[in-house]
């Protein structure tokens, strides 16, 4: 039986992701990895007929021995599986001692059960749906973090090589300030896609099981406390293991004759357990995802929370001056810049992260020499009091970043004026 699940080995990257850049959080892993593997495992399990029912999807019986049946055994089995079987709901009422099998008896109202034919297809579809947000995230992320990190997440690097890579990365972060907002917003929206995907899958299962799924799990729990004689098993009602089937055929004189059969569906022994597990699993990750979306929404609208998160991301860098420089930098970052820095902090070694923060802080300070001379001279000599003056260094860094932002806005305005003049000339 283990051979059935050998195909899932490639989907479980044990030891394969060591050293890989991490851009998604644990909630995303619950969705695209754990839940996808769970659905694929269930899909394979329901197709393992050699372990369930001796390799038969359905086994039907008529009156008498096999040789005396008017309809051959293979024909009645195939017909009932394709055309679907049914139960009599009124035959499920009453005590267990009054029933031959739940749902098998006489009655005018019948309820057809055909979804067992589609369980494996549904499970595969849901596995694909849970993997889709991950593919969307990777597409929108575009490999940006992996490209700019330049191997700094590797544990072994020569000091000179590491220093040069940190300088390149710090210069990129400085030159690309305020350009990551759209990128970060798209990645943030993927969290809502995960939540919408959970809701969609719950509705899909509700429709598939004829509006029985929303209460199925708790009904199974309550079943344990009910009287064994009078209780109605929801698993036998939703996934009946013994059903009825009727086949009509012409008799010797051309009269239509109806032939009844009682059918056993061994696959429903597995289906009823699978959907109990899926019920509680989807409810659990749905609650976790909702909490995650609410929490991250507060983070995105609160600069204080963002600063706290980026400090916690680099909390392993216990150097006080590093955290102080990080506070100075993050105070002037937009949400896209913050998200990129936070992702880097989760992937870099403490020593590398501290050095990168120091390098970025230094490059932003040096920016005043090329683009902020006027503002620096206007501030007077107090701005050059030295690196130990925390307030002056902070205001200096703030002015540098503000000037860079103003230059970007001025550049965009010049472009817009140029386009207007071109339009007038054309007219």
Domain ranges of the chain: 21-138+193-296, 302-372+385-409
Contact 60, 77 (CB under 8 A): yes
- How many angstroms separate the first and last alpha carbons of the chain? 76
CB neighbour class for 183 (10 Å; exposed up to 12, middle 13-18, buried from 19): middle
Q: How far apart are CA 25 and CA 293, in angstroms?
A: 12
What pLDDT is stored for residue 106 in this prediction?
72
pLDDT band at 406 (very low <50, low <70, confident <90, very high): low
The mean pLDDT of 213-219, rounded to a whole number, is 89
Q: How far apart are CA 95 and CA 87, in angstroms?
A: 17
Q: How far apart are CA 14 and CA 33, in angstroms?
A: 12
What pLDDT is stored for residue 378 in this prediction?
45
Contact 99, 152 (CB under 8 A): no
What pLDDT is stored for residue 11 in this prediction?
59
Contact 35, 281 (CB under 8 A): yes
* Residue partners of 60: CB distance under 8 A and separation at least 6: 73, 76, 77, 80, 245, 261, 262, 263, 264
What pLDDT is stored for residue 155 in this prediction?
64
Q: What is the pTM of this model?
A: 0.80
pLDDT digits (tens, 9 = 90+) for 319-351: 667 788 888 888 778 999 999 999 998 888 888
pLDDT digits (tens, 9 = 90+) for 159-170: 888 889 989 999
């Amino acid at each position: 039986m283990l051979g059935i699940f050998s195909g899932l080995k490639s989907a479980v990257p044990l030891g394969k992701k060591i050293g890989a850049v991490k851009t998604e959080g644990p909630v995303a892993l619950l969705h695209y990895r754990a839940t996808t593997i769970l659905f694929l495992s269930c899909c394979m399990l329901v197709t393992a007929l050699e372990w369930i029912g001796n390799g038969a999807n359905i086994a039907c019986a008529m009156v008498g021995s096999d040789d005396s049946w008017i309809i051959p055994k293979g024909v009645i089995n195939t017909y009932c599986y394709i055309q679907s079987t049914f139960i009599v709901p009124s035959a499920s009422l009453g005590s267990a001692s009054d029933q031959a099998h739940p749902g098998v008896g006489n009655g005018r109202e019948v309820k057809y059960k055909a979804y067992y034919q589609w369980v494996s297809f549904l499970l595969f579809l849901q596995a694909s749906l849970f993997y889709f947000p991950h593919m969307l995230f990777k597409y929108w992320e575009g490999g940006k973090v992996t490209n700019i990190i330049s191997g700094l997440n590797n544990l072994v690097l020569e000091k000179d090589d590491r220093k040069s890579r940190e300088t390149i990365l710090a210069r990129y972060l400085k030159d690309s300030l305020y350009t990551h907002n759209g990128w970060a917003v798209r990645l943030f929206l993927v969290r809502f896609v995960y939540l919408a995907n959970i809701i969609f899958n719950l509705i899909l299962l509700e429709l598939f099981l004829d509006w029985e799924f929303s209460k199925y799990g708790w009904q199974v729990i309550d079943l344990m406390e009910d009287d064994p004689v009078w209780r109605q098993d929801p698993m036998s009602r939703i996934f009946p293991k013994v059903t009825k089937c009727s086949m009509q055929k012409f008799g010797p004189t051309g009269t239509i004759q109806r032939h009844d059969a009682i059918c056993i569906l061994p696959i429903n022994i597995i289906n009823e357990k699978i959907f109990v597990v899926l019920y509680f699993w989807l409810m659990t990750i749905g609650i976790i995802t909702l909490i995650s979306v609410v929490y991250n929404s507060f983070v995105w609208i609160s600069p204080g929370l963002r600063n706290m998160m980026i400090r916690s991301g680099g909390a392993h860098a216990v150097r006080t001056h590093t955290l102080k420089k990080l506070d100075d930098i993050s105070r002037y970052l937009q949400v896209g810049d913050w998200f990129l820095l936070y992702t880097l902090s989760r992937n870099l070694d403490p020593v590398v992260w501290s050095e990168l923060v120091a390098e970025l802080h230094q490059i932003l300070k040096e920016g005043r020499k090329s683009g902020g001379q006027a503002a620096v001279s206007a501030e007077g000599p107090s701005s050059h009091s030295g690196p130990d003056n925390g307030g002056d260094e902070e205001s200096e860094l703030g002015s540098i970043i503000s000037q860079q932002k103003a230059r970007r806005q001025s550049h965009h305005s010049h472009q817009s004026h140029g386009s207007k003049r071109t339009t007038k000339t054309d007219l």
